Structure formats: structure tokens, C-alpha cells
Amino acid sequence: MEALHMKVVMRFLILFLVCSTFVYAAPLPEVPAKGMVTVVDLGAKTCIPCKMMVPVLDAMEKEYKGRASVIFIDVRENPDQATKFGIRSIPTQIFFNKDGEEVYRHEGFLDQKPFDEMMKKILAE
């Protein structure tokens, strides 16, 4: 009887985990954002250089709120996005102009100053 009870509990847990992944998985934002300068940072929450990007992304998101979209996509959680954007290493930042055209791509950590300079250049176009 105990073995049967354990089987039922295990099946329930597996079903719960599978269902909760689909229910609680956040949808990915549209990249590039329509009619807006967009930067997508493709990385992983567990990668050291990717973690170093967090304060830069946060600062740029605040600085350009309403004028540009700054998006992070975890490619370990969303491996199809790595293929979609042709990612060879992480982190990778891809800058799009307001027409949705890729205008710049950088692989590796990107410090705030060159990030900011690129944003200003694209927004000025």
C-alpha cells in the first residue's frame, strides 16, 4: 500500500512541476521592440560576465526609459533564442535602431560608457 501511495505522490509531483513550468514561465518580450531603439543582452543568470552586465543594464534601462527598450534573455532557459540571434558566446549585446535593423553587436562584457555612447549614437540617427 505504501509503495502505491508513493507512486501516486511522485506522479502528482511530476505533473505539478511540468504544469507549473508552463503556467509560470514568463513570455519573452518582442525583440526588437516595435518603433523603438532596442538592446537585447543575451546571456545567462549563472555566467560571471553576464552577472557583471546587470548593473549596466539596470542603469541603461533607467537612463533611456521611454526612449529605448533594454531586454535581457537567458539563453540557458531559452536556447531557441541563442539560435534565433546567432549567438556564439555570452554575454552578447545586440543593438537595433527604431526600424528594427541590427546596427551593432558586441560579444562579452560591455562597460557602461561604451554602452551609453552606442545608445546615444543610435538615438541621434
Which pLDDT does position 84 carry in this prediction? Answer: 96
Sign, CA dihedral 51-55-58-64, equals negative
**Structural domain count of the chain:** 1
Indicate which residue of 36, 47, 52, 59 is catalytic: 47
Distance CA 96, CA 112 (A): 17
Kindly state the average pLDDT of the residues 6-33: 56
Residues 6+ apart with CB under 8 A from 34: 100
Indicate which residue of 42, 50, 82, 90 is catalytic: 50
The model's pLDDT over 79-115, given as tens digits with 9 standing for 90+, comes to 999 999 999 999 999 999 999 999 999 999 999 999 9
* CATH code where residue 116 lies: 3.40.30.10
19 is catalytic: no
Residue 58 maps to a domain: yes
Average pLDDT, the chain: 86
50 is catalytic: yes
Domain span holding position 44: 37-124
